[in-house]
Amino acid sequence: MATCTVNGLQDLLGKAGLDTPVPDFPGGDIVHNPQDIFRAYLADTLQKLVEVDRAVAYDAIQPSNMTGMGDLVIVSPRLRLKGVKPKDLVSDLAHRLPRSPPFACPIPDGIHLRVLSSPNTLSRLLLPYVHDRNTSYGYDSSIGLVDAKAPEGPRKKVIVEFSSPNMASEFQVAHLRSTLIGAYVANVHAGMGWDVVKMNYLGDWGKQIGLLAAGWQRFGSEEEFQKAPLQHLLQVNHKIEELFKPEKEECKTAKGEGKDVTEIESRGLYAERDDFFKKMEDKEPEAIALWQRFRDATVEDYKASYARLGIQFDEYSGESQASPESVEEVEAALKEKGVYEEHEGSWRIDFSKHDAKGLSTAVVRYRNGTTSYLLRDLAAVLDRHKKHSFDKMIYVVAMEQEMHFHRVTKTLELMGRNDLADKIQHVAFAKITGLLDEFKDAQLLSDYLDGCRLVTQTAMAEETEDTIFVTKTDQSLESVGISGLFIQDLNHKRTTSYACDAKRMTAFEGETGAAIQNCYARLVTTLEGNVDGIDYDNLDYTQLETEDYSEVLRIITQFPDTTYASFKTLEPTTVIIYLGRLVDQVMVTLDDDDDQDWTDREDATKARMALYENARQVMENGLRMLGLSPWTA
C-alpha cells in the first residue's frame, strides 16, 4: 500500500528518476488518479516554456481517450497566448518539449499536441499503483465525504430507488431497464464514497390491489398459490382484468361523451375494487391480512431473482409504507399554503395557478377518501428524509413518468420544502422497443434471466470463428447471458430507445458482455499459477516497453478519468466503451504473446503477468461498477 500516500508515491517516482515532490496544482488528485501525476509534471514544464499562469497551463491539458493518440493533449488555444497562432504554438512546443522521463516524443495534431508518457516510467508507476489499490482503483471515495478535509468523517447519503415492479402485474421491460441502470447508479455512487441505500419501491397499494382482491374471491386457489404464488396471482389478475374490460369501456365512452361517470363507478367491479381499497386504507384486519400475503409472496420471489443479478436491496419499500403522519403533514402544508382545492368531493392541485401550466391538474385525494399515487409519493419523501436524512434521492424511472416527478418536486416547493425538492433527481430512460423471442412471453424477472441463459446457450453451441475461453457450465452460461443483457442495455445512452438483438447480445467481439467476459476468462486462464509472489519492487520493467504492452498500460491509466466522467453524467456507456478498448488491446497483446517462445525468459514472464493481473483487476472493477460479476470457471 506504499503508493496510497503522497510520500509513498514520491518515493516511487524518485526511484524512477523523476524530480520530487510532484508539482502541486489545484484540482489534481495524484492519490486517486495516476494521470494527474503526469499532468502535473507536464503542466509544470509547459508553464515554464510559455510563461503562463500555472492554473492556465494545467487547464490547457486534457486526457486523451483515443488508442495510440497520446496520453495527454495540450490544447493550444487554452494557453491564451496573444499574437501566436495555435498551430504555430503546437509546432514550437513539439520541438522544445523535453524528451526525458516521464514523457516520450510528442505528436503535433493541428491545434493539439499529443504527449505520450515514457513507457518505462509508466510501467514503473502504474503497476504498483493499481496493485496497491486493487478493488478501489478507478474510484475516488473522497467524493462522498460531507467534508473533503475530514477523510474519517461522515459520508453523504443517497437513496437510489429502482426496479419497482407492481404487485401481481407483469415485470415489464421498463422495470427491467430500471433494474439494470439502477444497479449501475447505486454502484458508482458507492464506489465514489457515498453511503447508498438501494430501495425497491413496490407498487403494492392502490385501486389495482382492490381489483386483484376481487379477482381472488372469484378465481383464487390456495393450492395453486402455494405451488407458484406469483404466477398464480398473475393468472388471477389477468382473469379479473378481462372481466373488468366492459365496465372500463363503458366508463371511457361516457367520459368521451362528457357524461358524469359517478353512477358507473359506484357499481359492479368498480365498486368492489374501491370498497376493498377503502378497507385497506382503513386498516381492516381481513383486508390487510390478504394484502400482506400477496406482498410477502411478491417480495420473496423477487429476492431470489434479484440475487441472480447480484442485486440485494436494502429496503423493499412501497406505496403501502407511507405513514399516516406524513400523509397528514403533506395535506396540512398544502392547505396552509392555499394550493389544495376541493372539487366534487376530491382534493386536487391545479398547477396552472402556480406557474406550472404544463403539469395540468392532479388529484391528491379521491372523493371516497382514498389517497392518490402523488400523495403517497410525497409522504414517502418525508418519511425517507426523517429516516435517512438523505443528501440526494435518485428515482431511476422511465421517461414517461417525467411529469409525475415534476409534480412531486413542484408540490414540495409549494409546501415550502425546497430543501427536499432540491435533493431529488429523476434519472430517466427511454423504452426498449423490441424484444428477443425468448422475452416475448416473459411475465417475471426470472423469465427474462432464463431467456438470457437460453440465448447464450444457443449461441455458444453454434460454430464460430471466435476462440471462446468461457466454459459452458450452467454458472458460466448464466454469467455470460446476464452480462449480455446488461452490456447491451447500458451501452445505449439512457434516453435512447433500442431493440434487443440476440446476435449482438452474444457476440464474442466488440463492446458486448460476451466479449468482455471472454477476455476476462482468457486473462484468468493465463494468470493461473503465475500471480503469487510478484515482487513489484524488483520487476524488470524494461520488458514492458514494447508498443503492445505500453498501449495496455496507457488504457489502464485512463480508467479513473473514465469512471469520474461516468459518475458525473450517470451514463454507463462511458465505462463500456472504455472496457471495449481495453479488451481489444489485451486480446491483441495476448495473441502476440502466444506466438512467442517464453522458455528461459523468467523476468519477461513475471513482468507480463504483473501487467495482465493489473488489466484483469481493472476489468473486474469496471464490470462490478456496471453491476456484473466477473466470470469464474
CATH class of 2-117: alpha beta
Query: Stretch 167-188: mean pLDDT, rounded?
Result: 95
Task: From residue 373, give the alpha-carbon distance in Å to each of 338, 354, 362, 364, 404.
Answer: 21, 21, 10, 8, 9
Query: Stretch 133-144: mean pLDDT, rounded?
Result: 95
Contact 32, 140 (CB under 8 A): yes
For residue 300, name the pLDDT band (cuts at 50, 70, 90): very high
For residue 67, name the pLDDT band (cuts at 50, 70, 90): low
For residue 246, name the pLDDT band (cuts at 50, 70, 90): very high
Give the three-class secondary structure for 187: helix
Only one residue has cell 377503502, namely: 278
Which residues make Cβ contacts (< 8 Å) with residue 515, sequence separation at least 6? 507, 508, 509, 580, 583
User: What's the pLDDT score for residue 1?
Assistant: 67
User: What's the pLDDT score for residue 37?
Assistant: 95
CATH 1.10.730.10 in the chain is located at 462-626
pLDDT digits (tens, 9 = 90+) for 571-628: 999 999 999 999 999 999 999 999 898 889 999 999 999 999 999 999 999 999 999 9
CA-CA distance, 410 to 381, in Å (whole number)?
Answer: 13
Provide the grid cell at 352.
396552472
Contact 585, 67 (CB under 8 A): yes
CA-CA distance, 543 to 565, in Å (whole number)?
Answer: 32
pLDDT > 90? residue 101: no
Q: Of the ranges 125-134, 308-317, 459-468, 592-601, which one carries the lowest mean pLDDT score?
A: 459-468
User: What's the pLDDT score for residue 327?
Assistant: 95
Q: Sign of the CA dihedral 61, 67, 70, 76?
A: negative
- In the sheet with 346-350, reading across from the earlier edge strand, the strands are 341-343, 346-350, 361-365
462-626 falls under which CATH superfamily? Isoleucyl-tRNA Synthetase; Domain 1 (1.10.730.10)
pLDDT digits (tens, 9 = 90+) for 301-317: 999 999 999 999 999 99
Q: 336 or 98: whose pLDDT is higher?
A: 336
Which residues make Cβ contacts (< 8 Å) with residue 534, sequence separation at least 6? 131, 606, 609, 610, 613
User: What's the pLDDT score for residue 279?
Assistant: 95
User: What's the pLDDT score for residue 625?
Assistant: 97
Q: Is 350 exposed, middle or buried (0-12, 13-18, 19+ CB in 10 A)?
A: middle
CATH 3.30.1360.70 in the chain is located at 2-117
Contact 351, 374 (CB under 8 A): no
CA-CA distance, 438 to 171, in Å (whole number)?
Answer: 15
User: What's the pLDDT score for residue 17?
Assistant: 86
- Residue 20 Rama label (left phi>0; alpha psi -120 to 50; beta): beta
Among candidate residues 227, 207, 217, 372, the one with its CA nearest the CA of residue 286? 217
Mean pLDDT score of the chain? 93
One-character DSSP codes across 37-53: HHHHHHHHHHHHHHT--
pLDDT > 80? residue 65: no
* CATH number of this structure's domain 158-434: 3.40.50.620
CATH 3.40.50.620 in the chain is located at 158-434
363 forms bridges with which residues in the sheet?
Answer: 348
Report the DSSP pairing between strands 72-75 and 112-115: antiparallel
For residue 261, name the pLDDT band (cuts at 50, 70, 90): confident
pLDDT digits (tens, 9 = 90+) for 389-435: 999 999 999 999 999 999 999 999 999 999 999 999 999 999 999 98
pLDDT > 80? residue 156: yes
For residue 480, name the pLDDT band (cuts at 50, 70, 90): very high
Provide the grid cell at 332.
396540512
CA-CA distance, 273 to 270, in Å (whole number)?
Answer: 5
User: What's the pLDDT score for residue 431?
Assistant: 94
User: What's the pLDDT score for residue 98?
Assistant: 87
Query: Stretch 233-240: mean pLDDT, rounded?
Result: 96
pLDDT > 70? residue 451: yes
pLDDT > 80? residue 463: no
Report the DSSP pairing between strands 195-202 and 315-318: parallel
Query: Stretch 122-137: mean pLDDT, rounded?
Result: 95
pLDDT digits (tens, 9 = 90+) for 4-24: 999 999 999 988 888 889 999
For residue 559, name the pLDDT band (cuts at 50, 70, 90): very high
Size of the chain in residues = 633
Contact 297, 220 (CB under 8 A): no
User: What's the pLDDT score for residue 422?
Assistant: 98
User: What's the pLDDT score for residue 467?
Assistant: 84
Q: What's the number of CA atoms in the CB half-sphere (13 Å) around residue 99? A: 5
Q: Of the ranges 36-40, 58-62, 341-345, 464-468, which one carries the lowest mean pLDDT score?
A: 464-468
Which residues make Cβ contacts (< 8 Å) with residue 533, sequence separation at least 6? none
